[in-house]
Structure 1
Amino acid sequence: MSVEKTEIRRLRIAVLNRVFSPTGGGAERYSIALVEELASRHEIHVFAQQINHQWSGVTYHTVSAPLLKPRWINQLWYATATWWATRRGFDIVHSHENTWHGQVQTVHVLPVKYNLFHGRTGIKRLLRSIKVLTSLRLLVYLLFERARLSGTARNHCVVVTSVSLLQIIKSTYPKISPTLKVITPGVHSFQATGAEQKKAARTSLGLPNAGSCILFVGHDYRKKGLDVLIKSLSELAADTFLAVVGNPAQIPMFRDLASKAGLGSRIFFLGALTDVSVAYEAADVLAHPTLEDTFAMVVLEAMAHGLPVVVSDEQHCGISALLTDGVNALLLNDPKDTKKLSTALKQVLQDDLFRERLSKAAVDFSRLYQWPEIARQQEEIYLSLSNP
């Protein structure tokens, strides 16, 4: 007896993301990957102020940006403009931004309220409250966040990228607990890079063909631990070099730091790359000594390319709650400890068998988080919230 395949109802979906570009951060790449996966089954409309993406079947709407700074005014403008543009005609509005509207809200960062008040009591909390009440910028961000995270389970879903972020939001906004759901980032299917592919990748990026390459990927260099990584490089073999991918605006400051440490010739600043895959292919290990990451999509992407990863533990990085130290990654309990970071990198770079074992385990781990399955989870939310 044959079983007929259930046809999925086609939805008209608005996606809100101010910057819709692969050179953005993890939040932008997350949003883009979902759009690409779902565009063949649904009518997707992207509303963004900066668009650097083309995909068949996707309709792009450029939202004006008359005043990019101060940022809170632009946020207010963007939220108002997208509310007006999407208030009717869509089955689902999915926001990746701090806006008050949208049945689906994906939160990629720590809540503003948490950052402002967590761990503060007594006089410190009172002083922080006074600071907020006298700052129009902070008031706008908090009001938007409160509106964003106040929906009911019947018509609203708040998606977070990790269990650690879910717990923080639960403690900060306990009333929305029933609406919360974890959908991690995903990856496309990759595999460990071969020697010829690695050589070609290094050549295309202008990196040395000889020696070991440590890769760093991140836009906020200091928060992601680049200063500690630069210091640790001095304790590694002379033929070990560092490739840095991310925000070009921060390069001058950290290039100066590298020069003062006598490491200028061993650090290559590549800026923002449209396709980071070539950097993963060029590297021997990813170092991510981040001070704060709700997930760290770059770690998962690196693992999908078969890179061993040295990453901060789950107190600092969401993905690490899913990893096992010494099995599929090396975890740092103190990302500011230069000695621990250099020791972990030495272990990976000097022990070939250990590096190969980590590489295989990394690829196996990444197979559990493929974009088609991640998109299916997102699609289930859309269908459950939309009216037939």
Structure 2
Amino acid sequence: MTHIVQIAPAISSGSGVAGVAHALEREFIAAGATVERFTAAEAGRPSGFRGRTPLATHLTRARNVVWFSTVGTRRARRFLAERPDAIAITHNDVMAGDIYVNHGLLQAAMRARGDYAWRMVRNPVHLFTAVRDRIRYRGRTHRAVVALTTNEAELLRSTYGRVRAPIHVIPNGVDIERFRPPDAAERVQARAELGVDDDRTIAVFIGHEFERKGLPIAIQSLGTAPEVLLLVIGGSPDMIRRAQAQARTAGVSERVHFVGTHRDPIPFLWASDVLVLPSAYEANALVVLEALACGLPVVSTRVGFAPDILIDGENGFLVERSAKAVGARLDELSSQPLDGWRVRARQTAEQYAWPQIARRYLELIESMRRGGVGAALGQGTPDDAGDEAGG
């Protein structure tokens, strides 16, 4: 029987890394594997203050990253030593485990936001993370690395030069039972709760980092998409106030609706017609899959999973990171029936249901149990895959 240990700061239902690990755990168990967890809680993370200010929250998160990367690593290695038959899948921080899932590259994210050197130097945890991950990828910490997209696999190689472990591209999945197109009544109710009639085209933006994810571009794009309303999910009060000012400056404030942060995006996806994501960097952008699963075409820049999954004119559009390019596609979609787009979007997402994605992990695990990890990125042989994947 396959024995799997998942290592992550937290594992729970929902979004983010914790939600990914939880979805994989569910599917591994359904496939007959024995699964254990090693989280920060199991590692004995000390309790700390829970500040209500942004600074206190930032300091708590920074401390947790350093603690789980150092103390958590030592305790994870002891935990795994007691389970020599297990294959360990690590998500974030800990420097142990057979397979490391790369959920994002700090350096790439900071470069995308601009002022790279200043952003790195002003935050000691960024410098710590950069050094930690260079050791991770250039050394022998893991036997295999999973990149969530082909773009991310290339970024790994361009950032670190030679990644010693072979790189395998396995995307995140989506819960196609939870994320599904609404029926007619559900759509009417979702729109009624927003106070929008069914004749208007709604483009939804979901994300917290407004600048990196391109909200200012989405707002400006409304100037060339006059029939489109923009629904914004996420952001802190200060971020929303700045974005509202940007909308007023652009002269489109009456067509931008901010609803703040919500744990469940589904009602807003059901109310919408298209997802817009003019982001500068994404490791994966799970929201793209979630939107497709709900039947929404996607207008996105060439980041994260979008180039792997979007086909221009079929289930969305890949665009340059400019208001003109985004607005042109939103305007095009607002001027035509979207029934066919919705069907094609849903069909795309169904190919990435979590059972299929978990099966790909299980195939990698089986390869490792047989003594190899397979050719990385479709290159080489098991013996030379590590060198070729690292460039």
Shift of 1:183: 0.6
Gaps of 5+ in 2: 50-56, 372-391
Shift of 1:104: 1.8
Is it true that 1:344 corresponds to 2:329 in the alignment? yes
Match of 2:34 in 1: 42
Match of 1:275 in 2: 264
Is it true that 1:11 corresponds to 2:3 in the alignment? yes
Match of 2:342 in 1: 359
Aligned pairs for 1:58-207 (under 5 A) are 63-64=45-46, 66=48, 69-70=58-59, 71-86=61-76, 87-88=78-79, 89-90=82-83, 91-110=86-105, 112=107, 136-152=124-140, 156-176=143-163, 178-189=165-176, 191-204=180-193, 206-207=194-195
Match of 1:5 in 2: none
Is it true that 1:328 corresponds to 2:310 in the alignment? no
**Stretch moving more, 13-22 or 161-170:** 13-22
**TM score, norm. by length of structure 1:** 0.78
Aligned partner of residue 222 in structure 1, secondary structure:
helix
**TM score, norm. by length of structure 2:** 0.77
Shift of 1:295: 2.5
In the TM superposition, what whole-angstrom CA distance separates every residue of 1:116-164 from its partner, at most 9, and x where no partner exists?
Answer: 899xxxxxx9xx6x998998545422221023214549x6111110111
Aligned length: 350
Aligned partner of residue 149 in structure 1, secondary structure:
helix
The amino acid across from 2:168 in the alignment is K
Task: Tell me how far apart the structure 2 counterparts of residues 157 and 178 of structure 1 sit (CA, whole Å).
Answer: 5
Contact kept, 8 Å, 1:72 with 1:140, in 2: the verdict is no
Task: Tell me how far apart the structure 2 counterparts of residues 115 and 351 of structure 1 sit (CA, whole Å).
Answer: 36
Task: Tell me how far apart the structure 1 counterparts of residues 104 and 264 of structure 2 sit (CA, whole Å).
Answer: 23
Contact kept, 8 Å, 2:25 with 2:35, in 1: the verdict is no
Q: Specify whether residues 136 and 195 from structure 1 end up closer, same or farther in structure 2 by C-alpha distance, changes over 3 A only.
A: closer
Shift of 1:72: 4.3
Task: Tell me how far apart the structure 2 counterparts of residues 141 and 359 of structure 1 sit (CA, whole Å).
Answer: 41
Shift of 1:65: 5.3
Shift of 1:287: 0.9
Task: Tell me how far apart the structure 2 counterparts of residues 264 and 101 of structure 1 sit (CA, whole Å).
Answer: 49
Shift of 1:221: 1.2
Identical aligned pairs, as a percentage? 25
Task: Tell me how far apart the structure 2 counterparts of residues 323 and 295 of structure 1 sit (CA, whole Å).
Answer: 13
**Stretch moving more, 64-73 or 317-326:** 64-73
Shift of 1:269: 2.1
Gaps of 5+ in 1: 1-8, 50-59, 119-124
**Stretch moving more, 38-47 or 363-372:** 38-47
The amino acid across from 1:370 in the alignment is A
The amino acid across from 2:295 in the alignment is G
Q: Specify whether residues 31 and 256 from structure 1 end up closer, same or farther in structure 2 by C-alpha distance, changes over 3 A only.
A: farther
Shift of 1:106: 0.8
Q: RMSD over aligned Cα, in angstroms? A: 3.4
Q: Specify whether residues 132 and 162 from structure 1 end up closer, same or farther in structure 2 by C-alpha distance, changes over 3 A only.
A: closer
Shift of 1:17: 2.9
Match of 1:227 in 2: 216
Structure with greater helix percent: 2
Match of 1:30 in 2: 20
Aligned partner of residue 276 in structure 2, secondary structure:
strand
Aligned pairs for 1:249-260 (under 5 A) are 249=237, 250-260=239-249
In the TM superposition, what whole-angstrom CA distance separates every residue of 1:280-327 from its partner, at most 9, and x where no partner exists?
Answer: 1111111111111233221121111111111113xx344213322112
Match of 2:354 in 1: 371
